[in-house]
Amino acid sequence: MQVLLVEDHDELRDMLQAHLLQAGFAADAVRCGLDALAAVEAAPYDAVILDLGLPDLDGVEVLRRLRAGPGASLPILVLTARQSVGDRVQGLDAGADDYLVKPFDMLELDARLRSITRRTERRPEAPRLLCFGDLRFDPSAREATVGETTLALTRRETALLEELLRGGGRTMVRDVLEDRLYGFAEVFTGNALEATVSRLRRRLAAAGSAVAVETVRGIGYRLLAPSRMAT
Ligand code: CA
């Protein structure tokens, strides 16, 4: 199990990290909130141990940002020296799964850590790959590949490709695509969908894919794999 430890106190951090490693957790350690956010963006942790008193961002703010983004469902155990009930409630309100008040016993830390990770162990299965012709798309990594080549797609192009792939070659109605891909204002300020389709076609061609995005006149778009190879 991969744990991220966020603690600015050098000695405590080193001691906790050594203890976690000994207890069988793989533990990375950082000393401030921004590093914690970057670490969670970069690696798939199973849990975070988060000190609330940090030098840059307040721990509660770190918690909120994690919950709003990359750590939405990540088990988070808060460490706090703050004794007041208000602080603890604030931590739990901001999305902590549990908290420990310093000083604490290491065995207590292990127990809480195992408890919060058990609670979230039954995660939904990783979404399977979407495949069409020579295209592979991993919905969790938001990555499309043709053979060994990864397509360089913008977020919008990725979303369009995913919609078309989920259609599996069926025609996707343009109104529906517009609804799913664009905000109200964008739809009415021009040919946003056409532009995204054109760019996606260029990216597919550049990656050497044989899959085409076909315009179905008056209706919408669909994917076409000429030889229907390995679909
Ligand atoms: Ca601290």
For residue 125, the CA-to-ligand 1 centroid distance in Å is 36
Give the model's confidence band at 231: pLDDT under 50 very low, under 70 low, under 90 confident, else very high. Answer: very low
Q: What backbone torsions phi and psi does residue 119 show, to the nearest 5 degrees?
A: -60, -35
Q: Express each pLDDT in 154-213 by its tens digit.
A: 988 999 999 999 888 889 998 888 877 876 556 556 688 999 999 999 999 999 999 999
Q: Express each pLDDT in 65-81 by its tens digit.
A: 998 888 888 999 999 87
Q: Which residue type occupies 208? A: G
For residue 49, the CA-to-ligand 1 centroid distance in Å is 12
230 pLDDT higher than 60: no
What DSSP line would sit under 80-135, residue for residue?
E----HHHHHHHHHTT-SEEEESS--HHHHHHHHHHHHHHT-SPPPPPPPEEETTE
Residue entry with tokens 């979303």: 159
For residue 11, the CA-to-ligand 1 centroid distance in Å is 11
Q: Express each pLDDT in 2-11 by its tens digit.
A: 899 999 999 9
Euclidean distance between CA atoms 169 and 34, whole angstroms: 43
H or E element in which residue 184 lies: helix 184-187
**Closest C-alpha among 12, 71, 80, 11 to residue 38:** 71
For residue 67, the CA-to-ligand 1 centroid distance in Å is 20
For residue 92, the CA-to-ligand 1 centroid distance in Å is 18
Euclidean distance between CA atoms 5 and 47, whole angstroms: 9
Euclidean distance between CA atoms 14 and 142, whole angstroms: 35
For residue 102, the CA-to-ligand 1 centroid distance in Å is 10
Q: Express each pLDDT in 124-152 by its tens digit.
A: 555 578 889 999 999 888 899 999 999 99
Q: Express each pLDDT in 79-130 by its tens digit.
A: 987 666 666 667 777 788 888 888 889 989 999 998 888 876 554 555 578 8
For residue 115, the CA-to-ligand 1 centroid distance in Å is 23
Euclidean distance between CA atoms 222 and 100, whole angstroms: 53
Q: Please give the average per-residue pLDDT across 17-39, as a whole number.
A: 92
For residue 117, the CA-to-ligand 1 centroid distance in Å is 23
Retrieve residue 139's tokens: 């919905």
For residue 103, the CA-to-ligand 1 centroid distance in Å is 12
For residue 83, the CA-to-ligand 1 centroid distance in Å is 14
For residue 99, the CA-to-ligand 1 centroid distance in Å is 14
For residue 114, the CA-to-ligand 1 centroid distance in Å is 23
Q: Express each pLDDT in 198-215 by its tens digit.
A: 999 999 999 999 999 999
**Which pLDDT score is estimated for 28?**
93
**Which pLDDT score is estimated for 192?**
85
**Which pLDDT score is estimated for 229?**
44
For residue 61, the CA-to-ligand 1 centroid distance in Å is 14
CA distances from 191 to 159, 165, 194, 197, 198 (A): 17, 22, 5, 10, 11
**Which pLDDT score is estimated for 76?**
94
**Which pLDDT score is estimated for 128?**
75
The pTM assigned to this predicted structure is 0.53
